[in-house]
Structure 1
Amino acid sequence: MKLLRCADIQFALDDSPRFDLASVLAGGDGLDTRPRILAYAATLAEPAELSVPQLAALAGMAAGEAVDEAVLAGRHGADTIMALLERGLLVPAVAKEGAPVPGGDGGAVDWWPPARLAHLAGAWRGVDIARRRDDGKTTSTSERVAEFGPAPTHDYAVPGAGSMIELPPPPAGPLDDLLQRRRTCRNFDTRAELPMSAFSAMLRRVWGVIGTRELAPGAVAVKKSSPAGGGLHALEAFVLVRRVQGLAPGLYHYRAMHHAVEPLRKLTGEEAAAMAYRFLAGQDWFLDAPVLVVMVARFDRLFWKYRRHAKAWRVLHLEAGHLSQTMYLSAAELGLGAFVTAAINDAEIDEELRLPPMRQGTLAIVGFGPATGEARNIELEPVVPSPATRRLGR
């Protein structure tokens, strides 16, 4: 049988301390601080620790190079090759007639290797923030101050700079009021449905396509209300509907060119709530939003132009930020609460949406809907006016 190395694989030398029972039993501090080799791949639920012989076996194979199992066993030992097969880091060159090679789909996408490592290493699966809080495994702000000292100042001045030169009051306009009304909502109305008119407005304003321009045959740029790298707009909107008037609970994909939604999966109200909880990694203060929008990056589209580019992955996160701010302002204008979060179980979401690994991936979730007047969860409102706000009156 011929074997291939997993196409999307990155290695890291990890120096983080780990609990070591043997150290405790020997009278030590219970920490193992020896560096270890970790392998990250789209096919792995968690990083795999490798031995030096296992690393050598993988490093000796080029991506796409099929090598006979017996040859590899002769070079590196049968146990080494079997361990890599069991972990999915080596895969059969042909799993089944006509079936794709596991872990090979992303190989044609030209990732910048450090970005690929960050994307794989930063993925979450099974994280439950509310449970960690309830189990006493999180720290409060006052506890962090007590342990680490005060946070770096919120009123930053460049050391050695000259005296401040105050600027005159800027002209007032409707945008100023809208910007001041922008806020993150942690208290959504648990019973309210989002009107279809507001749902339609939010999707169109934030993710809808205004127009296109053909750059060359086979290459089309897109204009939306927010900017995007190369005009490619490689972020898709997958919508988890819980309470929208006239629309059944379920998963949908927003067809931005047509201002329409494609049904992907029907859900009961209970199923939609459970899915939202998993997607949001247990952030129960966002759970009651009637609509969640999962922003999914199409790496293959952006990296088609920016191949192995050191800035391309960063640009996708900037685009998610642009869309989020547009979403916030639209929500403020409609009188809705809104939020954005990247603390999500992105690996689980990718699987739920059946995204092709390393070609597409979840970056963030936004949500919006009617807020409640009840302060069940802490919000950053009201605030103490800044010196500039007091001086300018707004």
Structure 2
Amino acid sequence: MSNAKKIADDARLGPAVPPPAPEGTKHFSFKLLKTDGRARRGEISTPHGTVQTPAFMPVGTQATVKAMFMGHVEATGAEVVLGNTYHLMLRPTAERVARLGGLHKFMNWNKTILTDSGGFQVMSLAQLRKLDEDGVRFQSHIDGQRYHLTPERSVEIQGLLGSDIQMQLDECIKLPAERAEVSRAMELSLRWAVRSREQFERMDGPAKGQALYGIVQGGDVPDLRIRSAEELGKLPFEGYSVGGLAVGEPQHVMLEMLDITLPAMPTHKPRYLMGVGTPDDLLESVRRGIDQFDCVMPTRAGRHGLAYTRFGKVNLKNARHADDPRPLDEASTCEATNHYSRAYLHHLVRAGEGLGAMLLTWNNIHYYQDLMRGMREAIEAGTFDDFYARTKEDWARGDIAAL
């Protein structure tokens, strides 16, 4: 569809209006309930419910968690999912979603939704990007259409989608990178943070109980990370994210940046590590004080025949599972994990059957939620160090018979 056609359709259908807040809307809030070392146990309240933290958010890029029914996502214990501004602005468009009642209604998810800004996908997927102070001009990876994404437009799109938690537009660069390039992108992201906040308030986001998070950048340069965190902390964001990590650097660098960055971030607001990660990444990051995570890893792995379990990773493509009648984990409360044999899962994966992707994705999201639940309970009990050590030992030792 051409841009002219889109404009004509918008005129015919009438203006897109952001969906109203649910009745009895609660303002966004965060309570820090307990700490154990640097690990934090908290609670986020949004217009669409309460999110217990630390929390893992399944990624619903295009208004769907791939290979999952939303009811099954909820049954895993997930209380918040992520939608992607870049993909949804291209199709079906934010304006169309708004006219259809907002993203919650559109995707049949009445719990909390977080949307990212679209900036990362513009940098990684779009064609012929041109970035300047105003924003980013790019061509869609789908059909080559030209778009202009500014901080204001990103927030406008998220407002039309009606997400509970929204993100400022930032520039995310791959690591390693030269200091000058990291500094330039970080400073630009700070200026875009101011413009994003101004647009969020123009759209009455705070009055609707919604939240806008700032994003700390600075690559792997300690003083730039600290400057970004301190400057963002002066702005009235409802939460703060750590961005620009897990983009090519080894894990130890990511953890070093968290050790440096988190002490410079507000303690009374939620902290979100974007795009992370493996179960070990989650465990290590919670230990350092992170409250929220998202990552495509559990869903992508499930679609490619890989299951995450408390014993470790199980590759169902391997022929060793062809005659194995055991489930992935008979002690699990997840139907996908305890009801189907490894032999059957192996067969589905090798045959390319869609049910295999569905069951393994279900298993993986459930395992991630179990891991987060275990960490929350350990922080509440003051036994996080024991949980950390025991989980690490289980992964390191594994269960050879099970794998």
Normalising by structure 1, report the TM-score.
Answer: 0.25
Task: Specify which structure has the higher proportion of helix.
Answer: 2
Structure showing greater radius of gyration is 1
Normalising by structure 2, report the TM-score.
Answer: 0.25
